[in-house]
Amino acid sequence: MSLVVLAMLVGKGICFSQYPAWFFQQGELLCHSVVGYANPSIYRDSAIVEAARNGAEIYARMKKTTLMGGQAFWATEVGTYWMGSNFREEFDTSLILSGRTLNILDSYVSKNIVIVLLSDGSCSKETIRSMRVVKKQSKPDWVESLPASREYYYGVGSAPEYYFEKSSWTEAERLARRNLGRAVVSDVKALQKMGEQGQEIRDEQLQVTLSNIQIAARWKDPQSSLYYVLARMRR
Amino acid sequence: MRQIQTLMFLSLAAMLLVGCGGGAKTMQSAETGDIPDWYLNVPRDPNYLFAVNTATSQDLQLAFDKAITAARAEIGRQVEVKINALQKRFEEETGAGADAQILSSFTQATKTVVSTSLSGSRVSKQKQLRDGNMWRAYVLVEYPVGAANEALMQQIKQNERMYTKFRESQVFKELDEETKKYDEWKKQQNQ
């Protein structure tokens, strides 16, 4: 019987994802920090360098990004059809060089992903030390109820599980930035046509520049294998 | 002995599989009726306009995009209806309907308010469920109604002639009172 219980626990332990606390609650570091991702490699050092390079690009995107484009939907009684989208992000690639001057504070290597924590030296050593602990995290409130604050705009991005875990986190971050942009300004036009069948064309346009974006928190749902990222920006 | 060992090994393997496969079985599904409470019972608050929506897609983000855009369009309509009712009362009370210039200015102010109002709206709650092989997204979008009143007041104040006429009406007093309440509420939120 004890073997059965042990096997179940081991089974759950293998399947549940664990990350350092600074990855789950990056916002609590209270300093300028960026997390970079890389796919695992047999050369551990190379993977960490690759993750730091990725972090430098993320740093540039977080510093200043312009989101533009839009998408349209056609809502009918049968359902809502997607009419296409042309969202895109533009950022100053010269800022990547500044991102390369950041220091690697910590790294975490698992069989699915390599992550590094980068900072410009503004992080307290005590805080970093206390957040190096690897842990599991239960479902945070922000996944379903977005925080309301006079200080920050918030945006949550979620992505499904792709072959590479890096792709899932990258996609969730990209969508968190887009939803953050929507929280700042959103232009929605809708044209309703009422006849024998009701229908509506909805058009959403986005044109906003975000600066000094922070990743406040992350979470991976072990049951649905969904990846969540909470981004914020000062008002 | 060998049989017992084999049995033990198979049990262990089965347990590991159960551990890994538990997720799929406990995955919430819209088919099980696990619809969020706030979708069925939309919150009521005099300081907010609310709109809920649900949409499906094989792509999770697209399901959210569909639902959010629809809810935001609904908020826009609610603001428009509210302001149009205000405009009608204003016209009836002051006879501004006969004054083409004031009427045109008011209509322009209304359009500006409706088009800018969505920037104050936010997705306050969201949830996704598996619906067969699709994702179903539920969203609740809220909009502080005082923000629309304040925006309308600002637009009216920009036109001196319209503002003078508007100040004489009962609608102005009500709007002014609501705007003051909103300012108070904003102060409380900041504390």
Indicate whether B180 pLDDT > 50: yes
What's the pLDDT band for B96 if we cut at 50, 70, 90?
low
- Interchain CB contact of B10 with A (< 8 Å): no
Q: Which of residues 101-140 of A touch B (CB under 8 A)?
A: none
Averaged pLDDT score across all residues of chain A: 86
* Residues A89-118, mean pLDDT to the nearest whole number: 90
Indicate whether B18 pLDDT > 80: no
**What is the number of residues in chain A?**
235
| Amino acid letter, residue A118 | L
Asked if A159 and B11 come within 8 Å (Cβ–Cβ), the reply is: no
A187 within 8 A of A193, measured Cβ to Cβ: no
* Residues A179-192, mean pLDDT to the nearest whole number: 84
Tell me what pLDDT residue A67 has: 93
Asked if A14 and B16 come within 8 Å (Cβ–Cβ), the reply is: yes
ipTM above 0.90, yes or no: no
Helices (H), A113-213: 125-130, 165-184
Q: Which of residues 19-58 of B touch A (CB under 8 A)?
A: 19-20, 22-23, 26-28, 36, 55-57
Helices (H), B36-141: 37-40, 60-94, 100-117
What's the pLDDT band for B90 if we cut at 50, 70, 90?
confident
Closest CA to B103 of B94, B113, B112: B94
Alpha-carbon distances of B50 from A145, A226, B34, B116, B124, rounded to whole Å: 15, 27, 21, 17, 10
Buried b (16+ CB within 10 A) or exposed e, A201-231: ebbbebebebeebbbbbbbbbbebbbbbbbb
Asked if B15 and A7 come within 8 Å (Cβ–Cβ), the reply is: yes
* Residues A206-230, mean pLDDT to the nearest whole number: 91
Which of A73, A175, A224 is the closest to B69 by Cβ?
A: A73
DSSP state of A26: G
- Give A33-59 pLDDT, tens digit per residue: 899 999 999 999 999 999 999 999 999
Burial of B41 (0-12, 13-18, 19+ CB in 10 A): exposed
Indicate whether A23 pLDDT > 60: yes
Measure the CA–CA gap between B132 and B134, rounded to whole angstroms.
5
